[in-house]
């Protein structure tokens, strides 16, 4: 009898998780709202006490090597600008060195990034590593990822590649007391 009661409890928990998991989904066409508005992640002197911040982006090529787009997440809704510094393709792998500028409504920063984009799937996925070089969280390291969309879910005026865009997220890693 105890086994049936435990199964019933676990089933109910699973149902609640399923029902309430849909409450967290956001429309892909709208930049996400700040994820980490936790005031405890920055002390009263403006120093980090250790945290990872997430900044979303949707970007596209306008006039190579320049990129435009939108940002969201912990930087707030805003604009993206970027510049490709170096681009090499070997087989189905693109290696990119670039500068990303996130100009959010809450925070702004510039990052020097290195991207490896795997095009084996047909549309592409990218992995990003780098460092914040200017602005908010200067000196912090970052990682990230993105998907390549053949048809972008947002308007892309002046898109050199037609309807293609790159949508993903940067994770800015701030060790305790390490950045301004």
Q: Distance between CA 133 and CA 118 in Å, rounded? A: 26
Question: Along the 180 residues of the chain, how does pLDDT read in single tens digits?
Answer: 455 554 444 444 443 333 333 333 344 444 444 444 444 455 555 555 689 999 999 999 999 999 999 999 999 999 999 999 999 999 999 999 999 999 999 999 999 999 999 998 778 999 999 999 999 999 999 999 999 999 999 999 999 999 999 999 999 999 876 555
Q: Distance between CA 76 and CA 81 in Å, rounded? A: 15
Instruction: Answer yes or no: are the C-beta atoms of 173 and 52 closer than 8 Å.
Output: yes
pTM comes to 0.73
User: What would the two tokens of residue 114 be?
Assistant: 């290195």
């Amino acid at each position: 009898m105890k086994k049936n009661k435990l199964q019933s409890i676990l089933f109910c928990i699973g149902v609640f998780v399923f029902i309430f998991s849909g409450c967290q989904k956001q429309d892909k066409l709208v930049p996400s709202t700040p994820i980490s508005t936790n005031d405890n992640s920055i002390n009263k002197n403006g120093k980090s006490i250790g945290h990872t911040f997430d900044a979303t982006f949707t970007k596209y090529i306008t006039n190579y090597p320049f990129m435009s787009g939108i940002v969201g997440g912990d930087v707030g809704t805003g604009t993206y600008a970027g510049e490709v510094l170096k681009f090499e393709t070997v087989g189905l792998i693109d290696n990119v060195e670039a500068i990303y500028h996130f100009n959010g409504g809450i925070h702004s920063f510039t990052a020097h990034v290195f991207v490896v984009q795997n095009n084996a799937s047909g549309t592409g996925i990218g992995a990003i590593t780098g460092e914040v070089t200017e602005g908010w969280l200067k000196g912090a390291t970052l990682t990230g990822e993105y998907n390549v969309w053949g048809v972008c879910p947002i308007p892309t005026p002046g898109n050199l590649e037609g309807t293609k865009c790159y949508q993903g997220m940067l994770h800015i890693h701030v060790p305790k007391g390490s950045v301004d």
